[in-house]
Chain A
Amino acid sequence: MEDAGQLAIEARVAEQHRHHSHTQFFVVWGVLLVLTAIEVYLGYQNMEPKRMLSILMCLSIVKAALIIGYFMHMKYEVSRMKYLTMCSLVFCLAMMMVFFPDAFRILYLGVH
């Protein structure tokens, strides 16, 4: 049995999609390609790994935000959906960073 509420929401979401301009998608796609080109350029600069990793990750986070916001439509979701999903994701991923100090310890102590 289908829920009439669900069908109404699906119709409303489809209505939102009808109002999005295609130009916006092409602009986001162009920006993503430009950011990728910058990343490739940086890959060939003989930079210190930690500095390069920081720059590349910042660019990747910008690209991820564009994809989630525009292509995955998160920008147009209600605040509750936006903040609950994104905050929980960022929190869980940030918790994994607890292992990094150990990686540096191995590097500087020369333990393998």
Chain B
Amino acid sequence: MADAAVTHDVAVYEPSLFGTYSKKIGMWLFLLSDSLTFGALLYAYSYGRISIANWPTPFHSGSIVNATIMTAFLLTSSLTMVMAVSAAARGKESARVGWLLATMACGIGFIILHGREWTHLISEGLTLPIFPAVPGQDATSEFAGVSKTVPQFAATFFGLTGMHMLHVTLGVVYLGIIALRKKFIPILYACWLAAWLLTPSYSPFHYASHVLLVTALICTLILWLKPKVYDAADTEVAGLYWHFVDLVWMFIFPLVYLMSTKIL
């Protein structure tokens, strides 16, 4: 696989109607459609929150602290992302890669903390019918009754935050490819293998880890078919996606966590 930019012939087309380049407009259109997906999920959660009088409030101060740190991670990752875009525009390649890696580190921190939160809630009995049963779990678990009395809570919570976690994971992979190109592919396969082997078979993450395998295969195919050097425009477009992921969390955090805080 060649690791060099593919050169193209150059032609002149009509000027852009929106004053910017096509890749960026394409990403904005994708983000607008994705906003509606998240909008529908957030409205579904809000609908349940309003219409069900005994809506559970399962988030203790520990969960709120965890979610606040997750928010700080995402906000910081947006800062490092704009620094990466700025470095790319200035042609500073090593700074661009460094800032992108810092952004990825914040994203990975977010995923780990979110995974910890999910694992805690599942172990306490908040679950979905499709999740495998946790061994040794009994009826005395804190949320054992919640999934039965208000099934909408678990469904909308896992649906909304799971969709967001998927977006963050794909965002980290996207940034990895933009930063390291084909060098990131073996890392991605290693991450899949580690996630698959290190998570217990009753954890939803054991099965969700295969998302990484599918992503790694698609990335391998893309980089094999169209190897190129990612420039300032590619970094900016990747940044738009990353900021969008951050933006969505700015609505999930207050709506899901702060509106369901357990005040003692």
Contacts and interface: CB of A to CB of B under 8 A. Distances in A.
A6 B21 contact: yes
A7 B232 CA distance: 11
B194 to A, nearest CB: 31
Contacts of B25: 81
B254 A39 contact: yes
Interface stretch (B80-88, B140-148, B166-174, B209-217): B80-88
Interface string B236-252: 10011001101100110
Chain A interface, DSSP helix/strand/loop, else mixed: helix
B247 A81 contact: no
Nearest to A37: B68
Nearest to A72: B243
A73 B22 CA distance: 16
Interface in B65-83: 68, 71-72, 75-76, 78-79, 81-83
A90 to B, nearest CB: 10
A4 B17 contact: no
B161 to A, nearest CB: 16
Nearest to A63: B250
The winner among A5, A44, A56 for most chain B CB atoms within 10 A is A5
Interface stretch (B43-51, B114-122, B127-135, B185-193): B43-51
A7 B49 CA distance: 49
A1 B8 contact: yes
Contacts, number: 188
B90 interface: yes
B253 interface: yes
Contacts of B231: 10
A96 B43 contact: yes
Interface majority SS on B: helix, strand, loop or mixed? helix
- Interface range on chain B (Cβ under 8 Å from partner): 35 or more
A67 B53 CA distance: 34
A108 to B, nearest CB: 10
B263 A17 contact: no
Given A13-B20, A68-B247, A78-B19, A39 B258 contact: yes
A36 B68 contact: yes
B75 A59 contact: no
A6 B231 CA distance: 13
A57 B254 contact: yes
Contacts of B68: 36, 40
Contacts of B155: none
B32 interface: yes
A107 B51 contact: yes
Given A18-B90, A71-B81, A3 B257 contact: no
Given A59-B254, A107-B50, A40 B64 contact: yes
A93 B35 contact: yes
Interface string B8-43: 111111111111111011001000100110011001
Interface of B: 8-22, 24-25, 28, 32, 35-36, 39-40, 43, 46-47, 49-53, 64, 68, 71-72, 75-76, 78-79, 81-83, 85-86, 88-90, 231-233, 236, 239-240, 243-244, 246-247, 250-251, 253-255, 257-259, 261, 263
Interface of A: 1-7, 9-10, 13-15, 17-18, 20, 22, 25-26, 29, 32-33, 36, 39-40, 42-44, 46, 49, 52-53, 56-57, 59-60, 63-64, 67-68, 70-73, 77-78, 80-81, 84-85, 88-89, 92-93, 96-97, 99-100, 102-104, 106-107, 110, 112
